[in-house]
Structure 1
């Protein structure tokens, strides 16, 4: 597997972005301002991660997704590790991430990678998304914020 900065975004990239975040306008806005890392296996795009500078010395992972058939193989962890390496090389001090409170697998993944919960943004998904998001059979309302100092 190869992880690299995306040079050109394709339809495959956009499909993956929207799998993780259904708000097309939000995705378009942060992808323009961020750095896209891509995971490639046998010339196939299998995962993406978007890093966005949010404050001085802070980067945020705003989108992370791996194709369903490639999940459970450590690809997301490798994308996160590459994001942390790039943040460190860029002299950032903190990497943050926000994820849905109903996403048990995502919460486990980020904590496994060294992130710690910092706070809950109550009703984030209700305020920012016009349609309800259902995850694990529950209406997604709150965002869990996590961070890692590097």
Structure 2
């Protein structure tokens, strides 16, 4: 698979569908997306993923949103996007790359650690404090599990 990365000049409706798949609050997405560099990920000119990167502190870059189109998941695209963003962050001379996910987002935690991220801390009650509605993890096999905490992961690039 030969993925193409295109910096988004404007966030399209299709971009929003993917961004909101990873983060269910349009208001929160809008709050960080305007400060981020957003890359659309294409395969054969079809949008298959999206990633948003945000400088947060000196020499630190955060992946604030990453999503793969539902019909394209479990094909390794997410791993390829992460590897490309890691290489880009290194080339841009960042020292640290960060990412966060729900404490019960087991598949994402597996992928992030597989590419080299390490758990660094837990932001307790992140989702209950920052989202106006309960966030239910749609990927879990049982219903009603309310997402409360965010796991923060870090990768040292140098």
TM-score category, normalised to shorter length: over 0.9
Query: Partner of 1:88: helix, strand, or coil?
Result: helix
1:54 is matched with 56
Q: Distance in 1 between matches of 2:37 and 2:84?
A: 12
Give the whole-Å Cα distance in 1 for the aligned partners of 2:146 and 2:53: 26
Instruction: Tell me the TM-score normalised to structure 2 length.
Output: 0.91
- Given candidates 35, 38, 41, the residue that maps to 1:36 is 38
Q: How high is the TM-score relative to the length of structure 1? A: 0.95
- Cα distance in 2 for residues equivalent to 1:97 and 1:103: 13
- Quick one: distance in 1 between partners of 2:119 and 2:86? 17
Q: Distance in 1 between matches of 2:31 and 2:87?
A: 24
What is the RMSD computed on CA atoms of the aligned residues? 1.1
Task: Give the distance between the partners of 1:27 and 1:118, measured in 2 at CA.
Answer: 23
Q: Which runs of 4+ in 1 moved over 6 A?
A: none
1:139 alignment partner in structure 2: 146
For the Cα contact (< 8 Å) 1:31–1:50, is it kept in 2? yes
2:106 corresponding residue in structure 1: 104
Q: Compute the displacement of 1:15 (Å).
A: 1.1
8 Å contact kept, 1:39–1:75: no
Which residue matches 2:125?
A: 123
Determine the structure 2 residue equivalent to 1:74: 76
Shift of 1:40: 0.5
Aligned length: 150
The residue that corresponds to 2:29 in the other structure is: 27
